[in-house]
Amino acid sequence: MPVVEKIGRRNSIPILYTRGTHYEVGFDVGRTFSSLIHSFLAASPNLNKVLLPLYETDAGKKVYEETLTSVHKSFPQYVREMEGTADGAQVPFHKLFLLHIYEMLPNVLGQESANSHGTGCSTVCCNHPGEEILGHTEDALAEVLNHFYFVSAHIISDLPQGRWKVTEERFTSLCYAGHLPGYTMSYNHHGFVYSVNVISAKILASGKTPRSFLTRALLAAENFAHAQEILRDSGCGAGDAVSINMTFLNQEGDRLFHNAEVGPPVGAANESSLSIFTTSPGEHIFHCNKYLRLQIPEAGGEIMTSSDHRHAAMKCFPHPASRKDVINILGDQSNKEYPIFQESGDDDYVKTVAVGIFDCVRQTWSIYADNPKTNEPVVVLPLQLKSPSK
């Protein structure tokens, strides 16, 4: 398979339904999507030109081993899941783990990371009666285009797993090839719906929890308090930075949307920096790839510039009050250099690879493989929730 396929944007997103242990689910993912995983690993300049050369150094091996040891202590089940994916796809485990520390490794070693060139996503939460929408553009390095899939998994364990003692997980997640579920947009059977925006903090930490493992752990969150505990990660803390946009479909009372900004521990702290913002009915959230509340130094670069331009573009729209309003914002390309929907041609460094619209009233998840302003969704998935009686 060629390193870079010039096949254009495909209106195709495969899905895998799987049940088993963490290792078995990971193995099924690797075996089913082996060709996509191999293709992505071959096509990734960041992996092959940055991460693997750093991994071959003594300093890079130290960061890798410290961080792997940390996540193995807190989340051994997700390490087994990744081992299953590596075995199923017949690829080296260390290549997959490097994808999950793609910003931490170069940052800790004083090197430039991929995020400095501008990656990231945009999320809009619209909270109006009858129009309770979480919309998200999945923006990624251009090689991610056509290298993603859905995983719909039911994981049952005989013994409690990891620091949160989880025995059952049931979720559907849009996944980059070779990556753990939970890192883009997802929901679980407890009614937890969320999307992820990466943030580039200036100083990252080795031996802490990568954000991709925190977002994987969120797939087991049963309520808002549990989600906050996962993100706070007391006793360790996040190794890098992230923003989570979320709601619980089964919550009592009015619909509430929350935005969590998460950062590495400050000073001698052993838990993540965390700030929560909540919207009530009649309000909205717009979040990109920069801190709006946490006072943590950021790396700067294109990711900040792009976020500033996307926030400025959003302010030109009326406050979103409907699904159509959210789609109009997420499909906006009025700023040609820094559009919200990022697509200008084959030479793009970053592309919007998919757009998701969670409708919390109708309990559906619509996925678009192209601009939602001018295209129909590829699929509309029902949000299947656990019965309260069980």
Residue 207 lies in a domain: yes
Q: Is 63 left (phi over 0), alpha (psi -120 to 50) or beta?
A: alpha
156 vs 345, residue with greater confidence: 156
Partners of 186 in the beta sheet? 173, 194
pLDDT for residue 1 is more than 60:
no
Sign of the alpha-carbon dihedral angle for 139, 141, 145, 150:
negative
Residue 74 lies in a domain: no
3-state helix, strand, coil in the chain (%, to 5): 30, 30, 40
- Per DSSP, the residues of 183-233 read SSEEEETT-EEEEEEEE-BSS--TTSB-HHHHHHHGGG--SHHHHHHHHH-
The per-residue pLDDT for 346 is 76
Residue 249 lies in a domain: yes
The per-residue pLDDT for 34 is 98
- Binned at pLDDT 50, 70 and 90, residue 114 comes out as low
β-bridge pairing 185-188 and 257-263:
unpaired
Q: Which residue has the tokens 């996509």?
A: 36
Quickly count: other Cβ atoms within 10 Å of residue 93's Cβ.
Answer: 15
Question: How far separated are the first and last CA of the chain, in Å rounded?
Answer: 47
For the domain that residue 221 is a member of, what is the CATH number? 3.60.60.10
Task: Say if CB 23 and CB 84 are below 8 A apart.
Answer: yes
pLDDT for residue 217 is more than 70:
yes
At CA 160, angle to CA 166 and CA 23, rounded to 5? 80
The per-residue pLDDT for 212 is 98
Split into its structural domains, the chain has a count of: 1
Residue 55 lies in a domain: no
Residue 29 lies in a domain: no
Task: Say if CB 67 and CB 207 are below 8 A apart.
Answer: yes
For residue range 244-292, what is the model confidence (pLDDT) as tens digits? 999 999 988 999 999 999 999 998 899 999 999 999 999 999 999 999 9
Q: Quote the mean pLDDT of the chain.
A: 94
Residue closest to 283 by CA, chosen among 127, 116, 130: 127
The 3-state DSSP class for residue 189 equals coil
Residue 280 lies in a domain: yes
- Average pLDDT on 216-244 reads 97
The per-residue pLDDT for 4 is 47
Range(s) of the domain holding residue 264: 122-147+192-382
The per-residue pLDDT for 347 is 77
The 3-state DSSP class for residue 275 equals strand
The per-residue pLDDT for 72 is 97
The per-residue pLDDT for 348 is 83
Q: Which residue has the tokens 């930490």?
A: 205
- Which DSSP letter does residue 266 get? P
pLDDT for residue 232 is more than 70:
yes
Instruction: Give the HSE-up count for residue 358: Cα atoms under 13 Å, Cβ half-sphere.
Output: 30
Residues of the chain above pLDDT 90, percent = 88
Residue 128 lies in a domain: yes
For residue range 320-353, what is the model confidence (pLDDT) as tens digits? 999 999 999 999 999 999 999 998 877 788 899 9
- Average pLDDT on 53-78 reads 98
114 vs 80, residue with greater confidence: 80
Q: Which residues of 24-44 are buried (b: 16+ CB within 10 A; e: fewer)?
A: bbbbbbbbbbbebbbbbbebb
Distance CA 83, CA 63 (A): 19
